[in-house]
Chain A
């Protein structure tokens, strides 16, 4: 079955960096676009980045553009999010999500999330 397992979260100081990973299994990873979504404590969902199946097309939310970089390694079935210049308001649970194969681009599967805390 489809599994998405995020890792790499933790406590970091403002201005610091962190690299999140999402290990995918149970499907042909290189056939699907992937996304990162975050959720600040007690808040709603915020989409932050998209990468196409081969990695050629990438999008970011304005809130992270220029600071975060999404990438993928299809040989290793892994998705990444390099986060630089972290701010206190980047504190959130970060989820990776797989798009469905049908039209509409819904997020068919989500990982369990990894918590990033930015604090001095």
Chain B
């Protein structure tokens, strides 16, 4: 199984400051079609996860442009250019290439300082 490792696991951020989350996979999630099958989700308190970024770098519909994703192969990063209070929650990366099983990272909890 592909192990997804996120860091940090806890991320206190001052509003207006940038934030960055790393996700590393134990095997490459780069498909032969050139896309990385790596996606990012945010689970806000008391809610279901919502898709933020798909295929490593594509923002989902309605996602603010302060969120961006990058990386390829086994190393990926989610960046928030300016954190807002509404970004509080747990961020997860997920790979859908080497399946089954689909695997998630442990989650990174973003909190406001």
Contact = CB atoms under 8 A, between A and B. Distances in A.
B67 interface: no
Interface residues of A, number: 23
Interface string A31-58: 0000100000000111100100000000
Contacts of A110: 48-50
Interface string A57-94: 00111100000000000000000000000000000000
Classify chain B: how many residues form its interface, as a range. Answer: 20 to 34
Contacts, number: 68
Given A95-B48, A103-B33, A103-B35, A44 B104 contact: yes
Given A106-B51, A107-B39, 17 more contacts: A44-B90, A45-B107, A47-B102, A47-B104, A50-B102, A59-B101, A61-B101, A95-B49, A102-B54, A103-B31, A103-B55, A104-B37, A104-B55, A106-B39, A106-B55, A107-B49, A110-B50
